[in-house]
Amino acid sequence: MSEKISKDNVYIKGIIAGDGTILREIYESYHKAIFQLVSTNQGTEEDAKDVFQEGIMLMYQKLQSADFQMASSFFTYFYAVCRNIWSNKRRKKSFGEVSLTDEITSMYKEVPEAQFHQSEQYTLYRKKFLELGAECQQILSLFFAKTKMTEIVEKMNFSSVSYAKKRKFICKERLVNLIQGDASYFELKH
């Protein structure tokens, strides 16, 4: 049991540090399970790669929160994060919506998972994310962490859910515009 907890801690620290060796190990350990999850729910191998990458990105964001606590094993938590991502993607596809995460992940579809955090595309995303104001960073971090809008209202001291949704939309648009407005965006996309 302590060996499992130790390995989970190594994975958590590796994600926070962007350690390529640990990210490769996570990929080797869990990519088959995530592919199985996505493929049995009408997804492709490309979909599974996208879900895995977004899962790592969301784990990174969640781990940055001071009040974050993982009550299960790393695999159980990561699998649940990926399952939620895939569920949301399927729902958005059925409604024909494109999300911010779809836009950002489309920039690095060709990057091998092991190099995800070291990629130029991820660097561009992080750079532009950090250019956002503190409020937008917090709203988007909560949103990417799948925090319910009612909780976002409470944490951000907003007056209503509709106001929180409006602020989230504005922040997402600002981030997309910052990324797309960067001179390197089109070079990295092609």
pTM: 0.49
Residue 83: pLDDT over 70: yes
How confident is the model at residue 97, as a pLDDT? 44
pLDDT digits (tens, 9 = 90+) for 87-142: 888 776 655 444 555 545 444 444 444 444 445 677 777 788 888 888 888 888 88
Phi first, then psi, for residue 159 (nearest 5°) are: -80, -25
Q: Where are the domains of the chain?
A: 1-96, 119-190
Residue 64 Cα distances to 15, 91, 113, 137, angstroms: 10, 28, 21, 12
pLDDT digits (tens, 9 = 90+) for 39-81: 888 888 888 888 888 888 888 888 887 777 777 888 888 888 8
Residue 158: pLDDT over 80: yes
How confident is the model at residue 118, as a pLDDT? 44
Which fold is adopted by the domain 1-96? Rna Polymerase Sigma Factor; Chain: A (1.10.1740)
pLDDT digits (tens, 9 = 90+) for 12-46: 888 888 888 988 999 899 999 999 988 888 888 88
